[in-house]
Amino acid sequence: MTRFIAFALATLAPLPAAALTCLPHSVEATYQRADKAEESFVVVQGRLTFDATALPDNGTGNQNPPQITRLPAQISGMALSEGGFDVPFEQPLTLEVACYGPWCGSAEEGDVLAFVEQSPQDGYLLESNPCGGNLFTAPKPAMIDQVKTCFAGGACTPAR
């Protein structure tokens, strides 16, 4: 009987959580992906604002969050051109936060480096997913310099 109880209790124990494996989230990898995409992208350094209370749970309690959460947002800053980040850019956009199972992308209001998709039908779209997506929060100066280097045709190889 003791064996049966131990077996029954073992079957009720939580299983180890499966891990989400992502490639390193880097400016170089995101730049290359955007550069090769059929869609058009604008690289923007600026301030992102949206209603953060509408974000999905990010796996902390809801084990079945929606696959995609779309939020109205605004980005104000400067877009990248041959001269650097020197083109004023202030646009409403859709922040699209994807979830892969219980893991969800994240976003924070504030300073960002964003690879914003420009769609003739849908306007501007900014995607975040559990592996990073097209959004970098609180970008470091080295990240800004690196995306300028990529844009200018310089070294743009993601670290492994």
pLDDT tens, residue by residue, 41-77:
999 999 999 999 998 875 555 567 778 999 999 999 9
Query: Does the residue 17 lie in any domain?
Result: no
Give tens-digit pLDDT for 118-153. 988 889 999 999 999 999 999 999 999 999 999 999
pLDDT of residue 62: 56
* Backbone φ, ψ for residue 26 (5° rounding): -135, 155
Query: Does the residue 15 lie in any domain?
Result: no
Alpha helix (H) residue ranges in the chain: 2-12, 27-36, 141-151
Percent of residues, the chain, with pLDDT higher than 70: 83
* Backbone φ, ψ for residue 55 (5° rounding): -65, 150
Query: Does the residue 100 lie in any domain?
Result: yes
Beta strands in 83-138 (DSSP E): 84-100, 103-104, 110-119, 123-128, 135-137
pLDDT-derived band of residue 18, with 50, 70 and 90 as boundaries?
low
Domain count, the chain: 1
pLDDT of residue 66: 79
**Residue 96 contacts residue 69 (beta carbons within 8 Å):** yes
Query: Does the residue 160 lie in any domain?
Result: no
